[in-house]
Amino acid sequence: MNYKLKKISGDASFREFYRVKKKNKTTIIVFAKKEKFKNLLVYSVVNKILNSHKISSPKLIKTFYDDNMIEISDLGDMSFYDYIKNKKNKFKDYKKLIEIIFQLQKIKLKKNYFLGTKKIKFKKYSIKYLHKESDLFFDWYLKFLIKNKNLNTIKKALKHELNNIYKKLHFKNNYFTHRDFHASNIMISKKKLSVIDSQDAILGNPLYDLASLIDDVRIKLPKNLQSNLYKYYVLKAKFTAKEKNYLKNDFDILSVQRNLKILGIFVRLYIRDKKPNYLKYLPYTWLLIDRRMQNPIFDKLKILMKTHLPLKKIKKIKKI
């Protein structure tokens, strides 16, 4: 059979994507250089789970696991980010994404899943896991932006306070969490919203995906829109009145945790993977962190950062 193969833009992972055209039909080949269990098998299983719960996502067509590839359905090139970035009134469209978050949170995962003979078991977020992620801030971002012999001592002091903050999270990690739910990971195909890049799914806090969406470092949402989207979630969420008192607490903590992680990941992408394009997001990432750290729960952390870190220096982009 004659076909045409064309490489298309990828993401921050080790995967490569190719569009295959066979006659008048196109599909996508996903090639994983590394971490193929997660990037191919887990991705396929999560997509199947999502589709079975009426959440549109890529469908598996064929597995070529020994060749580090899978073939999936083609959802086109239009992401929600492309669609929304120049629209003036974004609230109505973003509400649809919050409705998807509610759909995700209704998913009840089984203990184990199988694809062929391969077993997939979903992990739960834990304080240890949160630290593993926010450690990327220290190990990549700080390490390469400041040359301080006392960096390990600084890390220990800040980690201790972060630990105190993480212990104040209220909601249990019992909710299906996409873990990278933002505008670029939603595709628009045939007027339908579809979720992609779901291989990192985990059982987590119900505020995590909301923080990923509202405090998305790739798109600068007006502050009032962020506030209105948060209020919409609170209004529609099926929590008790008492539980709703803790939503902002968990939202702010997870937003700061996630964006500290992102600072580390984006510098790692620049240093290790030679992808300088991600550096442009660093200033806005800091703005979001500062915005959420207005919550008094971060008062001691702010003092420690001001004491130990040259914040004016490390918040600026510079050649590393």
Higher model confidence: residue 23 or residue 32?
Answer: 32
Share of the chain above pLDDT 70, in %: 97
CA gap 272, 211 in Å, rounded: 27
Q: Are 70 and 82 found together in one domain?
A: no
**Predicted local distance difference test score (pLDDT) of residue 37:** 94
CB 17 within 8 A of CB 5: no
Share of the chain above pLDDT 90, in %: 85
Instruction: Look at 30-34, 290-294, 308-312 and tell me which has the smallest mean pLDDT.
Output: 308-312
Q: Are 103 and 146 found together in one domain?
A: yes
Higher model confidence: residue 11 or residue 178?
Answer: 178
Q: Which domain holds residue 54?
A: 1-74
Q: Which of 172, 58, 50, 61 is nearest to 113 (CA)?
A: 50
- Each residue's pLDDT tens digit, 229-250: 999 999 999 999 999 999 999 9
Q: Are 180 and 246 found together in one domain?
A: yes
Q: What are the residues whose beta carbons fall under 8 Å from the beta carbon of 272, sequence distance 6 or more?
A: none
Return mean pLDDT, the chain. Answer: 94
Tokens 């045939």 map to which residue? 190
Q: Are 60 and 111 found together in one domain?
A: no
Structure confidence at residue 32 as a pLDDT band (50, 70, 90)? very high
Q: Which of 45, 52, 50, 72 is nearest to 61 (CA)?
A: 72
Q: Are 50 and 124 found together in one domain?
A: no
CA gap 90, 179 in Å, rounded: 22
Q: Which of 43, 74, 105 is the last residue of a domain?
A: 74
- pLDDT at position 13 over 80: no
Per the DSSP assignment, residues forming a β-bridge with 20 are 5, 27
Structure confidence at residue 312 as a pLDDT band (50, 70, 90)? confident
- Each residue's pLDDT tens digit, 116-165: 899 999 999 999 999 999 999 999 999 988 887 889 999 999 999 999 99
Q: Are 60 and 87 found together in one domain?
A: no
320 belongs to a structural domain: no
53 belongs to a structural domain: yes
Q: Which of 74, 101, 119 is the last residue of a domain?
A: 74
Q: Are 22 and 149 found together in one domain?
A: no
**Predicted local distance difference test score (pLDDT) of residue 1:** 54
CATH classification of the domain holding 33: 3.30.200
Q: Which of 74, 95, 114 is the last residue of a domain?
A: 74
Structure confidence at residue 82 as a pLDDT band (50, 70, 90)? very high
Query: How many structural domains are present in the chain?
Result: 2
**pTM check: above 0.85:** yes
